[in-house]
Chain A
Amino acid sequence: MANTSKGAIVGLGVTPMGRIYGRRAVDFAAEAIALALEDAGLQKSDVDGLLINANIPNDMLPGAQMTLGLENLTLMNVMSAYGSTGGSMMQYACMAIREGLANTVVLVYADAPLTPSRGAGQSYAGPHRFPLGGMTGLKAAYGDFGANLGYAMAAQRHMHLYGTTEDHLGTIAVGQRQWAVLSPWAQMKAPMTMADHHASRWIAEPLRLFDCCLVSNGAVAIIVTSVERARDLKQPPVHVLGYAQCAPGDNASTARHPGVETGAKRSGEAAFRMAGITRADIGSCQLYDCYTYTVLVTLEDYGFCAKGEGGPFVADGKLGPGGALPTNTGGGQLSGYYMWSFTPMSEAIVQARGQGGARQVANNDFTLVSGNGGILNYHSTLIFSPHAGG
């Protein structure tokens, strides 16, 4: 028997995603919040808490609460631990509700970096993001732009140490595309073969285009409330049974092995302990997938296989439809939509409710959710369930 619920998710709003131009991030946020309120059967006036996920363009700031028309908030903040933020926001929302700071908390991620004239990579990590002053200028002088290189270096190290191959990474991309084909929300709907993966262009070797996430304009909003109140609302509640975080430390110290050893290990152990369950109880994983490699290393650090065995572990296609460990069942950020940790959280909510349609997994008792930020520098873990536990 699992431990008791720490909080309940009662609303989910997901806007159309992708190359949707001419709208600001905050306008996508308003749409997502309206959709989430409608989904929950709640009114705007019920909202007394707002946690905003800081985005890279930094255009989702505290003033967004006024643009959104929210009033008398007793919990309000913009939070940032990059791609792990959503998991952290969920944790603080649950704690704040239990402490009585607020009763109905909206979590939102919104972003609109894509423009008609720029490719996804340039939109997200172009030279406008890299100042030249001091040591920061060194990165630019070496041509070290964006996250692609950092993850490519991590994957290269893993390949060197453990023999991980391009096929291993490709299996993850192909499996997630198979899931995306089944999801009405996914941006990428064309089937992908291993040959398609290997034919996609290099971004930063050893990562190809199909190893990298999408960039999306859009927003996701999630509404959290108390376990008691959730019972009377429109949707089947999704309970938050376990959560944790871990930021493992400095990449620049040779005493650490960043890229191959992540915060997922400590964060995962703590989240399982809080939930009172084990890996064997997990029906599906919704893992932060900025790159195929991130999924592989996260599975290792969560203990689904030994360190270094992530490649052989995924090679049989167990992450895809019909596999033994369904993972990123909405296509993830590789093929679904790129909303940082709101991508895995949103899909986990759909699965825990049993509303996944063609992509619904058979065992939705416990869903494991990860968030990851920086170059594997920040990690958050959540465990969702339709059961309140206890």
Chain B
Amino acid sequence: MSQSATKPVPVPDEASTPFFDGAREGRLMLQHCAGCEKWSFPVRERCPHCMGAKLAWRAASGRGTLYTFAVMHQVMNPGFAADVPYNVSQIDLDEGVRMVCNIIGLANDQLRIGMAVEAVFEDLGDGVSIPKFRPVTG
């Protein structure tokens, strides 16, 4: 996927640095609670399940299923002018976490709710990589 110079690139902050460091190294990092053993996303200081403070970053499986998706036709940011129509999707990760993402590697009309997907990592430049998802094959 080509990257327009004007496409937005996230700027990691202190709290999200482990997530972006992981993505640069090809790992999907999520927070895991040592108190209740549940995973959470996006980044926060306290576990949303038990409100405990024992959150630690762990590598997740990167596997999940497509919960739902939409195909965007509006150009809300000029960086996406060449991409429309593009999908924005919600992935149910095996860890019990749902995240918004893009699915790559197939046409939008081939997207099927429930399909198995896995994380891949895209280099946006500026030392920033982000996870995207592709169908699990074979």
Q: Which chain B positions have C-beta within 8 A of A148? A: 70, 72, 74
Find out whether the CB atom of A204 lies under 8 angstroms from the CB atom of B77.
no
Find out whether the CB atom of B88 lies under 8 angstroms from the CB atom of A121.
no
Find out whether the CB atom of A252 lies under 8 angstroms from the CB atom of B97.
yes
Among residues of B, the one whose C-beta sits closest to the C-beta of A251 is B98
Contact with A along B63-88 (1 / 0, CB 8 A): 00001111111101100100101101
At the interface, yes or no: B16 with Cβ under 8 Å from chain A?
yes
Find out whether the CB atom of A138 lies under 8 angstroms from the CB atom of B42.
yes
Find out whether the CB atom of A156 lies under 8 angstroms from the CB atom of B70.
yes
**Beyond A142-B102, A157-B67, A254-B97, is A121–B8 a contact (Cβ under 8 Å)?**
no
Find out whether the CB atom of A127 lies under 8 angstroms from the CB atom of B8.
yes
Task: Name the segment of A83-91, A129-137, A272-280 touching the other chain.
Answer: A129-137
**Beyond A133-B11, A134-B12, is A144–B68 a contact (Cβ under 8 Å)?**
no
Interface positions, chain A 111-141, Cβ under 8 Å from B, are 121-122, 125-127, 130, 132-141
6 closest A-B pairs by beta carbon, nearest first, are A137-B10, A152-B70, A145-B76, A157-B68, A140-B8, A134-B13
Among residues of A, the one whose C-beta sits closest to the C-beta of B41 is A252
Partner of B11, one of A137, A144, A152, A154: A137
Find out whether the CB atom of B113 lies under 8 angstroms from the CB atom of A157.
yes
Contact with A along B102-131 (1 / 0, CB 8 A): 100000100001000000000010000010
Partner of A134, one of B15, B49, B73, B74: B15
At the interface, yes or no: B9 with Cβ under 8 Å from chain A?
yes
Contact with B along A199-243 (1 / 0, CB 8 A): 001111111000000000000000000000000000000000000
**Minimal beta-carbon separation of A376 from chain B (angstroms):** 13
Q: Which chain B positions have C-beta within 8 A of A121? A: 74, 76
Instruction: List 9 interface pairs A-B (beta carbons < 8 Å), by A numbering.
Output: A121-B74, A126-B77, A132-B9, A138-B10, A138-B100, A141-B130, A203-B74, A207-B70, A254-B96
Q: A377–B6 Cα gap in the complex (Å)?
A: 32
**Beyond A135-B43, A141-B130, is A254–B92 a contact (Cβ under 8 Å)?**
yes
Q: Which A residues are within 8 Å of any B CB, using their own CB?
A: 121-122, 125-127, 130, 132-146, 148-149, 152-154, 156-157, 160, 201-207, 250-255, 259
**Minimal beta-carbon separation of B106 from chain A (angstroms):** 16
Q: A202–B85 Cα gap in the complex (Å)?
A: 10
Bin chain B's interface residue count: 35 or more
Find out whether the CB atom of A141 lies under 8 angstroms from the CB atom of B96.
no
**Beyond A127-B77, A202-B85, is A252–B102 a contact (Cβ under 8 Å)?**
no
Q: Which chain B positions have C-beta within 8 A of A135? A: 10, 15-16, 19, 42-43
Find out whether the CB atom of A142 lies under 8 angstroms from the CB atom of B77.
no
Find out whether the CB atom of A141 lies under 8 angstroms from the CB atom of B92.
no
Find out whether the CB atom of A201 lies under 8 angstroms from the CB atom of B77.
no
Q: A151–B77 Cα gap in the complex (Å)?
A: 19
Find out whether the CB atom of A122 lies under 8 angstroms from the CB atom of B67.
no
Q: A53–B35 Cα gap in the complex (Å)?
A: 39
Find out whether the CB atom of A141 lies under 8 angstroms from the CB atom of B67.
no
Partner of A143, one of B12, B72, B92: B72
Find out whether the CB atom of A143 lies under 8 angstroms from the CB atom of B11.
no
Q: A127–B74 Cα gap in the complex (Å)?
A: 12
Among residues of A, the one whose C-beta sits closest to the C-beta of B72 is A204
Find out whether the CB atom of B102 lies under 8 angstroms from the CB atom of A143.
yes
**Minimal beta-carbon separation of B55 from chain A (angstroms):** 14
Q: Which chain B positions have C-beta within 8 A of A259? A: 68
Q: Which chain A positions have C-beta within 8 A of B72? A: 143, 148-149, 152, 204
Find out whether the CB atom of A137 lies under 8 angstroms from the CB atom of B70.
no
**Beyond A201-B73, A204-B71, A259-B68, is A132–B88 a contact (Cβ under 8 Å)?**
no
Q: Which chain B positions have C-beta within 8 A of A202? A: 71, 73, 85
Interface positions, chain B 23-61, Cβ under 8 Å from A, are 40-43, 48-49
Partner of A132, one of B11, B80, B89: B11
Find out whether the CB atom of B83 lies under 8 angstroms from the CB atom of A205.
no
Partner of A139, one of B69, B73, B100: B100
Q: A144–B80 Cα gap in the complex (Å)?
A: 10
Find out whether the CB atom of A126 lies under 8 angstroms from the CB atom of B8.
no
Find out whether the CB atom of A134 lies under 8 angstroms from the CB atom of B10.
yes
Question: Considering residues B71, B74, B80, which has the most beta carbons from chain A within 10 angstroms of its beta carbon?
Answer: B74
Find out whether the CB atom of B80 lies under 8 angstroms from the CB atom of A203.
no
Among residues of B, the one whose C-beta sits closest to the C-beta of A151 is B70
Find out whether the CB atom of B48 lies under 8 angstroms from the CB atom of A253.
yes
Q: Which chain B positions have C-beta within 8 A of A138? A: 10, 42, 100, 130
**Minimal beta-carbon separation of A169 from chain B (angstroms):** 14
Q: A281–B86 Cα gap in the complex (Å)?
A: 45
